[in-house]
Amino acid sequence: MKHQTKFKQTEIGMIPEDWEVKRIGDEIELCYGKGLPETKRIKGKIPVYGSNGIVGFHNESLINGQGIIIGRKGSVGEIKFSGNDFWAIDTTYYVKLLKKGDIKFWYYFLLTLKIDKMNSHSAVPGLNRDNVYKIIEKIPDFEEQQKISKILSDLDSKIELNQQMNKTLEAIGQAIFKHWFVDFDFPNEKGEPYKSSGGEMVESELGEIPKRWKVGKLGDCVEFAYGKGLPETKRQEGHYPVFGSNGIIGFHSEYFVKGPGIVIGRKGTLGEVYWVKDDFFPIDTTFYIIDKLGIGALYFYYYLLKGKEFLKSSSDSAVPGLNRNTAYSNVIIIPPIGIISIFNSICCELFNKNDIILNQSIILSEIRDSLLPRLMSGKIRVPVEVKA
């Protein structure tokens, strides 16, 4: 038989019959963090939290165990969760439970209160904890708190695992690139590592390279084409990603470049490199890459990713920005197209897996964001185990 939630009328409206209306200040305390200047931090593994997240590490903790950190000055109301011991500095509060409760539940619960909108200082943004204490809300009992937090934290754990898997896939691609095109141990005709198995090497201006490989200028291989201006006010709702120098900054109804492609930060965040699988719109603070040789954009993605430092150093002096003519002058090794094609095929598989995992994470995030307010309001109840 399906359980039907019963509701009761309270001062804040209808709430589940077995929940209670409580004042936040009677349930939790927002404790002041403690100052820890960067000069006084000792190298360690304990995360140090500021108002907008981790700002460093230290060798000892201020709070032992899991905890919630809330921005008090600066990034007002930013809420972070630490799964282990941590240090909260004096621009933050950390949460202390005054009654029996689930700390992870309170993290998710506080996210629904829009504390980031409660700035109480005009000159320097700040959060007055007394204003938080005055909030009256409906709270489930401890057992249901645990069940709610488990559902939401399981979703977050899966999303985090997916992020780690994608980082691993990216690292694998970079490792293969280094093994093949830096160490020259790409597979020979017998499938053996070329250089390690005695493959013939010849002298070049960049040192020894495999026989039949070439040396040329980066500008002979690719063009750094200018992105196109697209102010936020002119963007129309759509699904094409708009790239600035620090990544995706929005979406638009039209694309400027047919994917796949590479975007490089030109102004602002210099030399950052992004691979884009589908059609996209790079704005005028970026370059996008045109492959002159037709040897495969993925190869150049990993080459440029490895060479981010030379890109960042290819800067104009007056106005900081990436000078493409300086970048073009870099001497690079050009492998045979056949080897690059094999490399591109392998990396395409990695990127396909990356996309599958990324799409799964997007769906999981949407599910979590949809469940959060419903679970916290009691509109969706966690099934109660029936005991024999």
| CA 339, 343, 345, 346 torsion-angle sign | positive
Confidence bin at 387 (pLDDT 50/70/90)? very low
Spatial separation of the C-alpha atoms in residues 255 and 227, rounded to whole Å: 11
Question: C-alpha 110: how far from its chain's center?
Answer: 22
Average pLDDT, the chain: 91
Place of tokens 């950390």: 94
Backbone angles phi, psi at 197, to 5 degrees: -95, 15
Residues 52-66: tens digit of each pLDDT = 999 999 999 999 999
Confidence bin at 283 (pLDDT 50/70/90)? very high
pLDDT of 179 > 90? The answer is yes
Backbone angles phi, psi at 381, to 5 degrees: -105, 145
Radius of gyration of the chain (CA): 27
Using a pLDDT cut of 90, give the percent of the chain over it: 80
- List the domains of the chain with CATH numbers: 7-139 (3.90.220.20), 168-351 (3.90.220.20)
Q: CA nearest 349: which of 185, 222, 169, 171? A: 169
Cross-strand partners of 291? 222
pLDDT of 121 > 70? The answer is no
Residues 211-235: tens digit of each pLDDT = 999 999 999 999 999 999 999 999 9
Token pair for residue 283?
A: 């704005």
Omega prior to 231 cis, within 30 of 0: no
pLDDT of 192 > 70? The answer is yes
Query: Starting from the edge strand earliest in sequence, which strands make up the sheet with 87-88, in order?
Result: 53-58, 46-50, 87-88
Confidence bin at 388 (pLDDT 50/70/90)? very low
